[in-house]
Amino acid sequence: MKLIKKLAFLPLGVALVAGSAVFAQTQDPDGAALAAALPENLVKKQGVYIVRMADNPVAAYQGGVRGLRATKPGKNKKLNPRDPAVIAYSDYLTARHDEAVQRVGGKKLYSYKYSYNGFAAKLSPGQVDSLRSLPGVVSVTPDTILQRDTVSTSDMLELDAGLWSELGGRENAGEGIIVGIIDSGVWPESRSFSDRTGSNKKGKDGKLGYQQIPGWHGKCTPGDSFPASLCNQKLIGAQWFNAGFGGDAAVLAEYPYEYASARDADGHGTHTASTAAGNANVPVAIGGNDLGFASGMAPRARVAVYKTCWGRGGEGGCAVSDSVAAIDQAVIDGVDVINFSISGSQSSFLDPVEVAFLFAADAGVFVAASAGNSGPDASTVAHNSPWLTTVAAGSHDRGFEPAFVTTGEGDAFPGITSGAGTGSLPLVFAGDVTLADADPAAGELCYPGTLDPAVVTGKIVLCLRGVIARTDKSVAVARAGGAGMVLANTSAGASLNADFHSVPSIHVDEVAGAALLGYIANAGEPKATIDAGVPATVEASEVAGFSSRGPALAGNGDILKPDIMAPGVDVIAAVSPAGSNGNNFDALSGTSMSSPHMAGLGALMKQLHPDWSPAAIKSAFMTSATQDTNQGNPIAGGAFDYGAGFVVPNRAANPGLVYDAGFNDWLAFLCGTGELQAGYCPGIAIDPSDLNYPSIALGALVGSQTVTRTVTNVGEGATYTASVTGLDGIDVLVEPASLTLAAGAQGTYTVTLSNSSAPLKTYASGAITWTDGNGNSVRSPIVARPLEIDAPAEVSGGGIEGDVTFDVAFGYDGAYSVLPLGLRAATEIPGKVVDDPANDINVALGAGAGVTFHFVEVPAGAALHRFALFDAETDGNDDLDLYVFNADGSFAGGSGSGTSAEQVDIVDPEAELYIVVVHGWETDGPDANYTLFSWSVVDDEGNMTVTAPAAAVSGTSGNVTVDWSGLAAGLRYLGVLSHQNGAGEIANTVISVEAD
């Protein structure tokens, strides 16, 4: 599904609905601004839903169904799809899936059985509602489209003298381990995946080439330009999944350059696969430049590819339904490691992909996932589940000496370049040399085919950064006959990259770019000279600007993500020449590049320690990571930027102590977060901070809190002593202060954190380190956010009069009171929206079909404004979505679930006008009648009283009771309880009451 980025003004036919607190405007809103503001992750794939069923998948089934034996594999064992018990139980699950679909209708696309129990199907809203009411159905989730988020990195990580050496050298590193790559496919002809390449001609047993691995059940599925013969004993599996994306025909119609096979049209999948497990000592050349030899992290490991991503660059994406199918298949095939360099949920542990990885980890599969490329903004990290390893991106030490572009007047501007230089040549701006029939905006960005060869030939062209790949810009210059390129950033903070270009090129920042544009505009005959790139070892690692940061939105701050950092800037690896301007190798940047480093290193650890769990492997990497650069300086940033630090694999091989965990621990964690349904949590919930994790995070330190950890000694017997660093203003007590552990023994300790003088509502960070005096140093980062009060975000009740009581915990001594605001009855705004035939909000905004607009005024001083839709307040089984925009068209919030139950909260609204869009994503007829509910909570309405403690005592809790009366029957009310400390508000709790 192609997303429309820029749309024309909304046509006059768009419905404008007036009502109480709503007014009609004299002109239509700016549809282009609204569409551009919409986050792509709110756009749902047409008609496809993912259904999760209650029974355990094959990987976790321990018996209980009459006549069906347990299928959960034993420790260090893999699932066998030919095992009669596996066949019988998987058939049972498939039958349950088919029965559910037959009862409600719809078209099933996938049955998930091995790492996820459920199915994907095309369903109508009515069928979705019916499914949700069936016994055994846990959830029904709309499918979404995710996005794809090394010559010297092995040298930087010192693998030759360390972990590779322990495994018998790079020629044996990864032997017997299978790495599954879920991505955009593979270019099978690449020498990185040959089973007859260089030093890989002999296997461990001395036989020629790679040998078969027992227990592998995957396959090589032939397809477009991909006969099964292209697989071999290195590339042992290749499959593709696109039913959720629309199927082969839909993909090829939308992206004619694609392949209906596992062949990679983009290059992203080939790059991640070769980074993780590409062959050793493969010669690398880019643009005619000989760059030495490349090796993947686990060069002897086998590769199995599962293609779920379609299109190139910003086009297309990866459907969640297809990704879950790939994970499910990879687990039953027998992979040991999975790399997932694809975006994911930032706020949920129970997204279908995360659940599939939960059971994959339970089956012993080590999973590495990219943290996301939305940095440097806070709370942008994705894949926050504790059962996988979430990887931030850092720089590595392959760099270049400072380079300059020098004007004809002698002014030199710094930049970065990796290629050849130029002599003094005429300098032009791309926007001035665009073909007459080309889009001027595309010309400034140097889209291929937009530059005029008549004026570009022999010149250096200044291209603006943005939209298309940086290297595609130099391709455009080369094709137009240009002799060089200056690539200029247009915003502060953007990275500078030493890409491999088609003409001599230098990348400069926005300051230099503006100055050079001024020079071009004012000089009579502007000229420039570009320096040649001079390789150099540079300080590393530093956190990449694009790398997503914590604190995690999921878990209320009680889990620290990302976990660790690995190289992710200008990583050189194999690519698809079809998507990389004919190159077989290229340098790419992103957490997509850092994640496969960890996947490959995880494969090495699986080989070295086959009895270790995925949690133990992750722990070893985290507790041995470094927080310093290669020059001994602290890495800029902190735990929310790089997790435990930059990976040091040779230390991880023998970490001394590990923090182990498994399925029951993760289940107790989920119960403690409240995200898992109460029926799954009979007395097993733990405080999420107590999960046995290699880091410690307290999202709400109110007074003091004690957390518990258990370590396992995986080294020789020793006595470990604890020390604490950082956490200024917080008292830390570790009990016991030392642990004497025999080899294989476990020890439990507690850490009590008490706020003494740390600033409130600000995270303090530090670490606890256990050392044994013999070289083992086991470090766990700690983050804690002291708060004055811990109060629920929302409470609810019912009736025209009633009450509700809840607890609050105090982290200070002093005055305390609760100020009631509300209760305020909703303004009910009737509306009608027609069905959107495209099921795409961007298309609907542009075409004016399937959207209805409401213009809502918000009074000044409101503490909260809420917009909501309810399933019961539509005239059928409809799936409506809700989007809210500020008056200037900027996006304020959205809600797009699989039903019409939608809610958007604006806290302390600053705007006086909001544009509310109701989208008829799928109605059960030609249209849907609905009621939009709108509340502005400003003052005390006199219908609510609060009883609360008169003072706060740090470390204690108190009861708050709210009474209400005099409400009108049949209305929905909203209020805010403002918790006060005598000087002002310290927190608030929303209260909703349905006066039934």
The C-alpha atoms of residue 809 and residue 991 are separated, in whole angstroms, by: 18
The C-alpha atoms of residue 774 and residue 724 are separated, in whole angstroms, by: 19
Mention every residue, 6+ apart, whose C-beta is less than 8 A from residue 356: 112, 115, 116, 323, 324, 327, 328
The C-alpha atoms of residue 500 and residue 602 are separated, in whole angstroms, by: 29
Q: How far is CA 656 from CA 159, 509, 623, 774, 800, in A?
A: 19, 45, 10, 10, 62
**Does the annotation count 641 as an active-site position?**
no
CA 919 to chain centre: 26
Instruction: Exactly one of 143, 183, 351, 499 is catalytic; name it.
Output: 183
Query: 824 near 935, Cβ under 8 Å?
Result: yes
What is the Cα Rg of the chain in Å?
A: 29
What residue has token string 């032939």? 222
**Does the annotation count 592 as an active-site position?**
yes
Tokens found for residue 922: 């799928």
Phi, psi of 183 (to 5 degrees): -170, -145
Q: What is the DSSP letter of 678?
A: G
What residue has token string 């955009």? 184
**Does the annotation count 268 as an active-site position?**
yes
DSSP H/E element including 621 = helix 614-623
The C-alpha atoms of residue 281 and residue 295 are separated, in whole angstroms, by: 5
H-type alpha helices, 553-680: 591-608, 614-623, 639-642, 649-652, 663-673
3-state secondary structure (DSSP) of residue 743: coil
H-type alpha helices, 624-662: 639-642, 649-652
Instruction: Exactly one of 592, 619, 695, 978 is catalytic; name it.
Output: 592
* Residue closest to 582 by CA, chosen among 313, 187, 290: 187
* Residue closest to 185 by CA, chosen among 297, 295, 331, 316: 316
3-state secondary structure (DSSP) of residue 595: helix
Instruction: Exactly one of 97, 194, 268, 665 is catalytic; name it.
Output: 268
Query: 697 near 560, Cβ under 8 Å?
Result: yes
Report the relative pairing of strands 814-815 and 718-726 from DSSP bridges: unpaired
The C-alpha atoms of residue 136 and residue 138 are separated, in whole angstroms, by: 6
Tokens found for residue 187: 């270019």
Q: How far is CA 324 from CA 51, 246, 757, in A?
A: 11, 15, 47
389-395-397 Cα angle (round to 5): 125
The C-alpha atoms of residue 304 and residue 181 are separated, in whole angstroms, by: 6
Query: 271 near 588, Cβ under 8 Å?
Result: yes
Catalytic positions: 183, 268, 592
